[in-house]
Amino acid sequence: MAVDRRLLREQVRDEVLDRLLRGKYPVGTRINEVHLAAEIGVSRTPLREALASLAQEGILDARPNRGYWVSPLSEQEVRETYPIIAQLEVLAITLSDPAELARHAPQLIEAAENMATAEDVREVQRADDEWHAGLLAACPNSRLLEMIGDTKRIVHRYEHAYLGDPQIVRESIEQHKRIAAALQEQDLATATRELESNWKTSMQRLVARITGSQDTSGD
């Protein structure tokens, strides 16, 4: 029974997170647990466990005896977290077998091009996640991969703020293809430079959206 309960909590968490990423609950919105439990079709116990998990990740704001609110987008969180993700991914491909990375490069190029066929923001985000998973597939350090996954979850919801822009998606596709092309040539220096640039560009776009500024220097 403990395993079933844990799996149910995770399923509920994923469903709530998906709704958040689709923008169903705007920033600052209070989560109505009664209505949400009824919509999902579960009791409030696994829902509360799922909400508590999302609060630990910073996605929700837990207020004692009052419930849960959707946390505001934070410029500081973006500026602090995106460079960490960039360096962790750089380390992951540095630890990977260059020949293995080169073999996977054509698949990464194809995966990047497939992003252009995504029909909505959620599909673009899923395609982007799959691309990065493919990039890190050759990394032998499971602990590092776990750290990357945990860190990405903190800011995953932010991506909804800019991945709906077709121009931004096209630019991201070209960045991803340049990274893959460099890996195919076993040019790790160029690949890591482009990867860092990809995350820095994403950070700058988010900061601009959050602050309403047109300055994307990131300085």
pLDDT, tens digit, 9 for 90 and up, residues 142-197: 999 999 998 887 777 777 666 667 888 889 999 999 999 999 999 999 999 999 99
pLDDT for residue 176: 96
Q: What is the pLDDT of residues 5-18, one digit of tens each?
A: 568 888 898 888 87
Q: 75-211 architecture in CATH?
A: Up-down Bundle (1.20)
3-state helix, strand, coil in the chain (%, to 5): 75, 5, 20
Fold annotation for 2-70: Arc Repressor Mutant, subunit A (1.10.10)
Mean pLDDT, the chain, whole residue set: 87
Which of 78, 4, 90 lies closest to 46, judged by CA?
4
Domain assignments of the chain as residue spans, ordered by start = 2-70, 75-211
pLDDT for residue 5: 56
